[in-house]
Amino acid sequence: MGLDKLKSNSIVLQPEVILPSQTHQALLQEKLKEATAEIEAYAKSTGQYTDWKYINYANPEQNPLAAYGAANGEFLAKTAKKFDPSGYFQTSVAGEFKLSDLE
């Protein structure tokens, strides 16, 4: 999962809000994107940033699989081919992030 690259503890940021309309949701998404960019910029400027994202809490705009690294991605792809040769879990099961995102 790429956790071997981490040098210290990390914090998972998981804001969650339920709003009554699509208009409010769109506004919140934009504000959340801005806030996340500010937090990441601060973490980078202070040497505390890690690109690892917890896949279960990742925003659809993020790519948590990218932080796994090439070797781990190849291992996952090889394992998927062995245990899911038809690609059922890549095409038929709901979820934001798939191994095909690594390509």
Dump the DSSP string for 52-73.
---TTT--TTS-GGGGG-HHHH
The pTM of the whole model exceeds 0.85: no
* Structure confidence at residue 103 (pLDDT): 60
* Structure confidence at residue 79 (pLDDT): 92
Which of 23-27, 57-61, 77-81 has the highest average model confidence (pLDDT)? 77-81
Residue pLDDT, tens place only, 3-46: 777 777 877 777 777 777 878 888 888 888 899 899 999 999 99
Average pLDDT, the chain: 84
| DSSP tally for the chain: helices H, then strands E | 3, 0
